[in-house]
């Protein structure tokens, strides 16, 4: 494969702010991708629904999608700008804010710059940690959510139910409620990478990616 078959890309170290244990993703994305396309990639990386407002904070300027919220003060501009326009330096950082009523804040750091194949402009290199329910009331609610939605806690609750004097219908309803609030296992790097490949095929629209998926697929 020659140089003409490759395109410039950046490797991003992406960390969700304010939560423990850490929730980290490492992505590679072409510098020709726009901020809107990076937003879509981040939605996939964290398993979110792309239903809320978002902005990027870059070098003190705010960039967002005016089509979603005209009232946003977008000092920097819209999200149609390509990453290449910023000429990011290695180790430079910027922030992504999602669900602005919370908001969830994500630190994005440029780890390196490289060339990637034209037909593979986006990928996930590493994934660690459980991404939160996007509608939680911020990082302070994360520890309780992490504990109360764990499979181990669900098993404990079901075991307690079996000791109660419940009829079949009551038991089924209670168990379904418990199972419904239990989070799936953390998304693996491979599954995130596969979703990112589908994302490009549907024009970087993260919302469309989830239209036919149930919550366990996130």
- Give 214 or 172, the one with higher predicted confidence: 172
Tokens of 17: 């702010």
Give the containing element (helix H, strand E) for 180.
helix 168-180
What single-letter DSSP state applies at residue 214?
-
- Nearest to residue 23, comparing CAs of 120, 117, 143, 115? 143
**Reported pTM:** 0.81
- Residues constituting the chain: 218
Pairwise pLDDT comparison (174 vs 38), residue with the higher score:
38
Helices (H), 48-165: 142-148, 151-162
- Report the C-alpha gap between 118 and 154 in whole angstroms: 45
Query: In this structure, what token pair is assigned to residue 194?
Result: 């596969």
Q: pLDDT tens across 53-83, in order?
A: 999 999 999 998 877 765 565 667 789 999 9
Handedness of CA 119, 125, 130, 133 (dihedral sign): negative
Architecture label for domain 3-131+186-217:
Roll (3.10)
pLDDT in tens, 35-52: 999 999 999 999 999 999
């Amino acid at each position: 494969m020659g140089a003409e078959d490759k395109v410039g890309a950046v490797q991003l170290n992406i960390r969700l702010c304010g939560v423990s244990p850490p929730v980290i993703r490492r992505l590679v994305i072409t510098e020709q991708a726009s901020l809107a396309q990076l937003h879509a990639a981040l939605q996939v990386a964290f398993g979110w629904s792309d239903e809320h407002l978002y902005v990027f904070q870059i070098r003190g300027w705010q960039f967002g999608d005016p089509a979603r919220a005209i009232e946003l003060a977008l000092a920097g501009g819209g999200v149609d700008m390509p990453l290449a326009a910023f000429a990011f330096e290695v180790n430079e950082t910027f922030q992504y804010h999602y669900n602005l009523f919370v908001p969830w804040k994500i630190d994005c750091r440029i780890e390196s710059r490289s060339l990637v194949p034209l037909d593979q402009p986006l990928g996930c290199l590493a994934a660690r940690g459980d991404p939160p329910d996007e509608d939680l009331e911020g990082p302070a609610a994360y520890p309780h959510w992490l504990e109360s939605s764990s499979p181990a806690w669900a098993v404990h609750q079901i075991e307690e139910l079996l000791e109660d004097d419940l009829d079949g219908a009551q038991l089924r309803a209670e168990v379904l409620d418990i199972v419904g609030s239990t989070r799936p296992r953390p998304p693996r790097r491979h599954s995130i990478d596969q979703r990112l490949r589908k994302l490009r095929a549907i024009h970087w629209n993260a919302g469309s990616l989830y239209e036919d998926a149930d919550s366990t697929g996130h």
